[in-house]
Amino acid sequence: MQVDLDGDQNLGPHSRLVMTLNDIHTPVLLERCVELLAPALEKPGAVLVDATLGMGGHSEAFLTRFPELTLVGLDRDTDALAIAGERLARFGDRVHLVHTVYDGIADALDGLGITSVDGILFDLGVSSLQLDRAERGFAYSQDAPLDMRMNQTEGITAADVIATYSEHELRNIFHKYGDEKLSARYAKAIVTNREIEPITRSGQLVHILTVATPAALSHSGHPAKRVFQALRIEVNQELSVLETAIPAALGKLALGGRIVVMSYQSLEDRIVKGFLQTGAASSAPVGLPVELEQFKPELKLLVRGAELASDEEKARNPRATPVRLRAAERIKVAA
């Protein structure tokens, strides 16, 4: 098993790792992902990229069910890579883990000498590991430092955004990435309060947002939910990364290979939908009497629209509630 963490691989006390391994959450839409990717992974020597490895739940299932499968697991979170590495160690050299953001998929595969792959899985958004560790600052329900970096080895934190962005910039990201109707009100409250004292903890921010929320809207959902989502997206540049990652992934997908992408909010899903639908459409000029080979679609969509979790899945695994799944198969070699 190759592990490239680009730095410190120490997760901390051994008990912390064991506790996490014993408390791993159910992977979202696991059986559906297996069903969709299986036709591409059943051949000898097949390669699957888990572009959002997390704690390795999906990957473990695929490695178990397809005994000749090679896995390449990508993640920007060094804690996740350490946990997944422990979980997948029994599969030996069938596993290659790489510390990278998922838009680095092409470089990761090139570094391993892999020219094309048979399956690609994206499970987007914040992971169970990140949500459940209060010290990471992703959850508005627990007081913690305002970090929110998926890769804690680099980049700005949520506290940096709160401290340095102008009122106009804060308003824009709350509206654009969180669809927050009170974005202007919240941005003004943050700027006013940061002049009194630095806002460095999630509890402080939640209090500011709660006080700024009109009483008439105080029962229409937690006031911090959309703001925290917007901050997380901004800190990790999730949408710009995704816009690079999907075409890069499709560029590595072999003929007959399949891609499955699970999104958890509409902005992500819109990006995924755009790339997959474009690939599944003819590029022939309007009015061409016969569709020439070079204009035929490169992809075939495997599900109609965005597939949602069943009621049973939602009851069993509440984190599947907002999921939108899309999938496609490469039916023509990329131009």
What three-state secondary structure class fits 73?
A: strand
What three-state secondary structure class fits 159?
A: helix
Find out whether 130 is annotated in a ligand binding site: yes
Find out whether 58 is annotated in a ligand binding site: yes
What three-state secondary structure class fits 146?
A: coil
Find out whether 257 is annotated in a ligand binding site: no
- Dihedral sign, CA of 78, 84, 87, 89? negative
**Contact status, residue 72 vs residue 56, Cβ threshold 8 Å:** no
Find out whether 140 is annotated in a ligand binding site: no
Question: Which strand (E) or helix (H) includes residue 36?
Answer: helix 30-41
Query: Where does the chain show beta strands of DSSP type E?
Result: 2-4, 47-50, 70-75, 95-99, 117-123, 253-263, 299-301, 324-330
Please name the residue that has the structure tokens 């009194």: 196
Find out whether 305 is annotated in a ligand binding site: no
Q: Is 209 exposed, middle or buried (0-12, 13-18, 19+ CB in 10 A)?
A: buried
Find out whether 102 is annotated in a ligand binding site: yes
> In which order are the strands placed within the sheet that holds 47-50?
2-4, 95-99, 70-75, 47-50, 117-123, 253-263, 324-330, 299-301
Find out whether 75 is annotated in a ligand binding site: yes
The C-alpha atoms of residue 130 and residue 139 are separated, in whole angstroms, by 9
HSE value, Cβ hemisphere, 13 Å, CA-based, for 121: 32
* Binding-site sequence positions: 56-58, 75, 102, 123, 130
Annotated binding site for S-adenosyl-L-methionine: 56-58, 75, 102, 123, 130
